[in-house]
Chains A and B, each alone.
Chain A
Amino acid sequence: MKKHFILAALAAVLATPVSAQETKIDPLHADVVMKFAFSQAPKDWAGRVDQDETLKVCSAARNAPSAADAEKIMAREKAKIKYPDDGKLMGDWKQGERWAQSGYGMRFTDYPPRNPNGGNCYACHQMTQAEVSYGTVGPSLREYGKIRKYAEADVKAVYEKIYNAHAAFPCSLMPRFGSNAVLTIDQIKDLVALVMSPESPVNK
């Protein structure tokens, strides 16, 4: 009887850590359920649920990658950046304001497309003084160019951050607007002008 009691107590002690242990999920399990959760998606949407190496690492690390992974991500994403053929990185800030305001594009209700895609920058960033309806998920960009004295190196850095933010900030929350073909190179140039041109209301 006593022996049974001891055995039962031992079993309980052994079982406790097992039952209290968090269930681990193989990332492949998540990949598979995502594959089967959008049965109405057109064939060419199938790839949208897939993850590239960078997104796999960032998801697993909850956007806080190890130093070694961060290095790899920055190098990999930097290599994806394409620059304008004419070498000019700034376009028209007025057009840039249009892309910054618009959240249109790529949702399933946006087809067939009725407008160019937008960058929806104001959803997350403060930019001009006039626009008070701005989000706070990203840092404020008020007077971004002015603070940096409109330096050429910063113009290039802004272009690269919009094109592929992970090249500078591994596992950034910001969409890779250029690499993911959300915005065109010309649209990105317009947005660079909005942030970096002295005439832009962002810097007023």
Chain B
Amino acid sequence: MLGWRLRTPAAAIAGIGLGIGLMTTVLVPWVEAQTPAQREQAARKAYEEHMRRMDEAEKAAAAKPATPPAATTPPPAAAAPPANPPAAPKVAAPANPAPGMSQADQDAATERGLEQYRRMMKEDPWSNPALLDADRGEALWAAKKGPRNVSLAETCDLGKGVGKVDGAFAELPRYFEDADRVMDAETRILWCMENFQGFDSTAFRKNPHPGGGQPVKDIGAIATFVSHKSSGMKLASKKDHEKEKEAIALGEALFFRRQGPFDFSCATCHAESGKRIRLQPLPFLSDPKEAKVVVGEWPAYRVSSTHVMTMQHRLLDCYWQMRLHRLDFGSDVSVALSAYLYDRARDGDIAAPGLKR
């Protein structure tokens, strides 16, 4: 969360603007459509419109000249730039903060906007933009794809049997005998795509998460669909197999492991109640009481970045703040930390996809 102030308020305001714009121009007509067929057609149109806007935003951002490096003293840390600077997940905020507005006013305005947005969402749970991704994920789950031209629905076992999605997310992460590994939802979906559809994941693994304003990638959309199919149930990740217990214990050790140039661990920010970074409240994630409230809301639509963010992506974002590099998708670290968080949040409500600042 360190440094969020530099970009988040403007991004959040832009996000709310985009979100409310999306609601009024696209989602409201969708919700108002009468028959299921009309709804489906409206949803498809809404999604296309959403994608078109995202493309436009991306093109506009790309057209903007890059800010020239400031002529300041070089930073003290010796660090060579990576050969290929990765596409920043934190692209510059698309809007400038209103001139003359203090930080406190901006934050208050952001919070008010979000509150209104959450209220609208509560009144109509179908208005969470993440449900568009869940729909896309459902279609992808059923579609015949890859060199072997098979669907995940006819090949992939998420733990409850081949093709069974209802309630599968609630029991993840779990041990899978075919892979001889504990896996979370996203890792399992990618494993199925590689092993059954013949999907080559090389390119995906280099850049598995969307940048600001881009929609969640296909695997994230499928994970959103899968999580939604356990919404309303209780988190009940498996803790029977020796490897499941080991993953949880490893996740706990990693949660408290300090490293990097800032000496941070997850526990630096998330091992005490009632603390905040700048104005952002921090959940006490090693405490079951607080973990239960937030963990079941992921994957979630993030208003500040206008896309669905999955658990794998969220963990990468934390390590980014900790000044470590891109956490590998489905790595032992990300799976173990997921296993630990879902264990802490055991019996918490699943309300996925959620909505986050």
Q: Which residues of A contact B (CB under 8 A)?
A: 22-25, 27, 29-30, 33-34, 36-42, 44-45, 48-51, 55, 58-59, 62-63, 101-109, 111-118, 120, 122-124, 131-137, 173, 175-176, 180-184, 187
Proximity string of chain B (255-287) to chain A, C-beta cutoff 8 Å, 1 when within and 0 when not = 011111111110111011011111110100000
Contact indicator B269/A137 (Cβ below 8 Å): yes
Knowing A58-B258, A103-B4, A115-B70, say if A137 contacts B275 (CB, 8 Å). Answer: yes
B218: chain A residues at CB < 8 Å are none
Tell me how far the C-beta of A41 lies from the nearest C-beta in chain B, rounded to whole angstroms: 3
Contact indicator A117/B89 (Cβ below 8 Å): no
Contact-residue bracket for chain B: 35 or more
Knowing A38-B328, A133-B5, say if A25 contacts B320 (CB, 8 Å). Answer: no
Knowing A38-B328, A103-B2, say if A175 contacts B252 (CB, 8 Å). Answer: no
The answer to whether the Cβ of B63 comes within 8 Å of any Cβ in the partner chain is no
Contact indicator B324/A49 (Cβ below 8 Å): yes
**Which of A40, A51, A58, A180 contacts B86 (CB under 8 A)?**
A40
The binding surface of chain B is classed by DSSP as loop
Contact indicator A107/B321 (Cβ below 8 Å): yes
A122: chain B residues at CB < 8 Å are 5, 278
A133: chain B residues at CB < 8 Å are 5, 103-104, 107, 278-279
Contact indicator B262/A106 (Cβ below 8 Å): yes
Contact indicator B83/A62 (Cβ below 8 Å): no
A124 to B262, CA, bound (A): 13
**Which of A111, A114, A183 contacts B76 (CB under 8 A)?**
A183
Knowing A33-B331, A49-B324, A122-B278, say if A25 contacts B261 (CB, 8 Å). Answer: no
Contact indicator B6/A104 (Cβ below 8 Å): yes
A180 to B254, CA, bound (A): 21
A114 to B259, CA, bound (A): 24
Contact indicator A109/B256 (Cβ below 8 Å): no
**Which of B5, B67, B260, B282 contacts A103 (CB under 8 A)?**
B5
Contact indicator A38/B324 (Cβ below 8 Å): yes
The answer to whether the Cβ of B336 comes within 8 Å of any Cβ in the partner chain is yes
The answer to whether the Cβ of B323 comes within 8 Å of any Cβ in the partner chain is yes
Knowing A23-B245, A45-B325, A49-B259, say if A105 contacts B77 (CB, 8 Å). Answer: yes
Of the A-B pairs whose beta carbons lie under 8 Å apart in the complex, a sample of 23, sorted by A's number, is A25-B249, A38-B324, A40-B206, A40-B325, A41-B324, A42-B81, A42-B325, A49-B324, A55-B258, A55-B259, A59-B256, A59-B257, A103-B3, A106-B262, A107-B320, A113-B69, A114-B67, A116-B72, A124-B277, A135-B280, A137-B269, A176-B263, A182-B262
Contact indicator A50/B259 (Cβ below 8 Å): yes
Knowing A33-B331, A59-B256, A123-B277, say if A173 contacts B326 (CB, 8 Å). Answer: no
Tell me how far the C-beta of B25 lies from the nearest C-beta in chain A, rounded to whole angstroms: 32
Proximity string of chain B (89-132) to chain A, C-beta cutoff 8 Å, 1 when within and 0 when not = 11000000000000110010000000000000000000000000
Q: Which residue of A lies closest to B333 (CB)?
A: A37
A141 to B2, CA, bound (A): 18
Q: Which residue of A lies closest to B271 (CB)?
A: A62
A51 to B242, CA, bound (A): 28
Contact indicator B3/A59 (Cβ below 8 Å): no
A25 to B251, CA, bound (A): 10
Tell me how far the C-beta of B5 lies from the nearest C-beta in chain A, rounded to whole angstroms: 6
**Which of B258, B272, B323 contacts A59 (CB under 8 A)?**
B258
Knowing A33-B250, A123-B3, say if A135 contacts B276 (CB, 8 Å). Answer: yes
B252: chain A residues at CB < 8 Å are 25
14 more A-B residue pairs beyond the given contacts A45-B324, A48-B259, A59-B257, with a C-beta to C-beta distance below 8 A: A25-B249, A25-B252, A30-B254, A42-B82, A49-B260, A106-B79, A108-B320, A111-B85, A112-B69, A122-B278, A132-B103, A135-B280, A181-B78, A187-B76
**Which of B70, B79, B253, B331 contacts A30 (CB under 8 A)?**
B253
**Which of B76, B88, B249, B278 contacts A134 (CB under 8 A)?**
B278
Tell me how far the C-beta of B333 lies from the nearest C-beta in chain A, rounded to whole angstroms: 4
